[in-house]
Amino acid sequence: MTKLRAAMLQTRVFADKMENIREAGRKLEALEAEQVDLVTLPEMFNCPYQTPNFPVYAEPQGGPAWTACADLARKHKIYLSAGSMPEVDETGRVYNTAYVFDRQGRQIAKHRKAHLFDIDVKGGQCFKESDTLTAGDQVTVFDTEFGTMGLCICYDFRFPELARLMVEKGAKVILVPAAFNMTTGPAHWEILFRCRALDNQAFVLGTAPARDPSSGYTSWGHSIAVSPWGDILGQMDEREGCMIHTLDLERAGEVRNQLPLLKHRRKDMYRLEEC
């Protein structure tokens, strides 16, 4: 199968952790007639994006939020990229973790955000995820009936080597739950996603929370889908909503054959580690 029908849900984040999942369920019910294959949710879709919240909202893998997302994937027979949520491990360390579930509700991917968002922009945003989060250390790809896909979270996507490693492992689609803010969003959101898609000749889907000016962290929104040629297939505004696109994955192969950037890489010069 080469044509993937993907729905991106730009959702509001409520203070009630499980209400966010119930809301996602309502939106999936409304999508039933669309016959989508994949649904993507935003970064920290069930936790207000503030560092003190992460340990409070955190659950172990297999907890209530994880189970509810697995149930939604199974009920609607979709691949569900369940945004990201706070995860706590057996030692008490907290991670920003993205899970993907298959059509049977089985977990097929897990990515812990590897690059923590510690920034202080003069006159703009100051944020330090490392106050409460621990960094992951894995390059994450997973297999589907449509082929291999990659998965990372927000700030991870600013590091070109990570996207390239996912592509080296076979990814033709990269899923990025992300929550850019009102400083970085206007400046970098669109150009970053277009550059990563263009450089890696892959589809990229960036799914953001809807904007809530009353929240402690205001999301830029603007969930975006970009083709392997660097074209914007669609971009939302700041409001809640859903965007659906059919991705023809043969297009990635066509672009890579016609403009063989990946084959023309000079690994003898770059001294890149083989995947």
Residue of 17, 27, 110, 113 marked catalytic: 113
Residue of 47, 152, 154, 242 marked catalytic: 154
Would residue 47 show up in a list of annotated catalytic residues for this protein? Answer: no
Q: What are the CA-CA distances from residue 49 to residues 128, 135, 176, 229 (Å)?
A: 11, 16, 16, 32
Would residue 169 show up in a list of annotated catalytic residues for this protein? Answer: no
Would residue 154 show up in a list of annotated catalytic residues for this protein? Answer: yes
233 burial (CB, 10 Å; 0-12 / 13-18 / 19+) is: middle
Beta bridge partner(s), residue 112: 97
Point out the residues that are catalytic.
Answer: 43, 113, 154
